[in-house]
Amino acid sequence: MIKYTLLFIGFNIALLSLPITLIGQYQFTETERVNCTPVKNQQRTGTCWSYATASLLESEIARMGHGDIDISEMYIVRNIYQDKATNYMLRQGKANFSQGSLSHDLVRMVNKIGLMPQDAYTGLVGGATGHDHSEMEAGLKGFLDGVNTMQMLSPRWMPAFNAVLDTYMGVVPNKVTYKGKSLTPTEYASELGIDSDNYISFTSFTHHPFGTSFILEIPDNYSNGEFYNLKIDDLVKLTKEAIKEGYSIAWDGDVSEKGFSAKEGIAVLPSAPAREDLFDTPGKEMDVTQQLRQQQFMSKSTTDDHLMHIVGLAKDQKGNQYFIIKNSWGEISEHKGFLYMSEAYFRMKTVAVMVHKDAAKQYIQD
């Protein structure tokens, strides 16, 4: 999912002892906060899914007592390209092959191929200082489409595909070093306490029964991942309660609304979108029902645009509730890459969330 719009908020990590932020006439008071690593920049790549979910795992690693760890997002991205290529060829080119994926794709790969620290694999070669996958994606897709025209496939297509990845992203090392030990990536993930089976994706749509899991019908769900379906009230409660218990959340949703402002660092869903003071002062927001949410999804007014990391809760001077969101577009301006998302915006524009299963036990039916 490629979004080049920049988001940011007036939230300074260094001032946690002063949890009040002013944006225009908005006055935000932080009420809950989960430890998170510094904001990164996905740059010109559609890899928000990897940055958001890696950030979630980094918070999980800290929660489990392993300190601050910088995970290589591009190690997982590279392996997902390979996974997508296999899926694309098996489906004879009738599948999604793009830069986008979802949180469950990163998490499910951990038990298969492990994790790497950032300093072991950056995904940058030739002195490059920033990521841009545009040319690489075009080349990979063209290669797959060309090979797919063959009546019979040789076993050489995947090594050739990997050679392109090596050229653009670098060769992956076999071992990493952690606390003086040489470990495989899977051993490294195990040392950090990360297990794919501990994370669950949730959504909220009426075209499938609540209390059941289903394959969410969005383009980037190429791996046919299942999502547990909750009523939107329960999804909001789960997210708030998880944060209060020290668990952060990977968020997937739509950031294309006019009430989502990069410049102002605010995501709101006003009942009167055209009001001139939208980003100056808190105002009345839409009453988001389950039915309205479903209508927005079915009409494509709500789409799977972007993934970010929910790391806290806040309220404004009128008592309205907000989620504190960590984005992956760099430490922009004074806002350092964070933003405030209102509960109304969350209720309407959330496509899915992912959280550790221990934070969601009461919401899952046996």
Tens digit of each residue's pLDDT (9 = 90 or more) over 24-78: 688 999 999 999 999 999 999 999 999 999 999 999 999 999 999 999 999 999 9
Q: Of how many residues is the chain composed?
A: 366
CATH number at residue 228: 3.90.70.10
How much is the average pLDDT of 184-201?
Answer: 97
Q: Hey, is 323 helix, strand or coil?
A: strand
Element at 32 (helix H, strand E)? strand 26-33
Q: How far is Cα 154 from Cα 353, in angstroms, rounded to an integer?
A: 40
Q: Is the pLDDT of residue 1 over 70?
A: no
Q: How far is Cα 62 from Cα 356, in angstroms, rounded to an integer?
A: 14
Residue 119 located in a structural domain: yes
Residue 2 located in a structural domain: no
Residue 353 located in a structural domain: yes
Q: How far is Cα 239 from Cα 323, in angstroms, rounded to an integer?
A: 9
Residue 244 located in a structural domain: yes
Residue 1 located in a structural domain: no
Q: How confident is the model at residue 356 (pLDDT cuts 50, 70, 90)?
A: very high
Cα angle for residues 260, 266, 272 (degrees, 5° grid): 60
Residue 106 tokens read as 């990163």
pTM for the predicted model, two decimal places? 0.92
pLDDT in tens, 103-130: 999 999 999 999 999 999 999 999 999 9
| Residue located via tokens 């769900």 | 221
Residue 115 located in a structural domain: yes
Q: How confident is the model at residue 206 (pLDDT cuts 50, 70, 90)?
A: very high
**Cβ atoms < 10 Å from Cβ of 27:** 15
Q: What is the DSSP letter of 172?
A: P
Q: Is the pLDDT of residue 7 over 90?
A: no
Of 364, 338, 346, 347, give the one whose Cα is nearest residue 34: 338
Give 220's contacts (C-beta < 8 A, 6+ positions apart): 1, 49, 96, 98, 100, 101, 102, 304
Residue 225 located in a structural domain: yes
Residue 8 located in a structural domain: no
Domain that holds residue 255: 13-363
Residue 341 tokens read as 């998302």
Residue 24 has what pLDDT? 67
8-17, 25-34, 235-244, 326-335: least confidently modelled range? 8-17
How many domains is the chain built from?
1
How much is the average pLDDT of 230-244?
Answer: 98
Sign for the CA dihedral angle at 340, 343, 348, 353 comes to positive
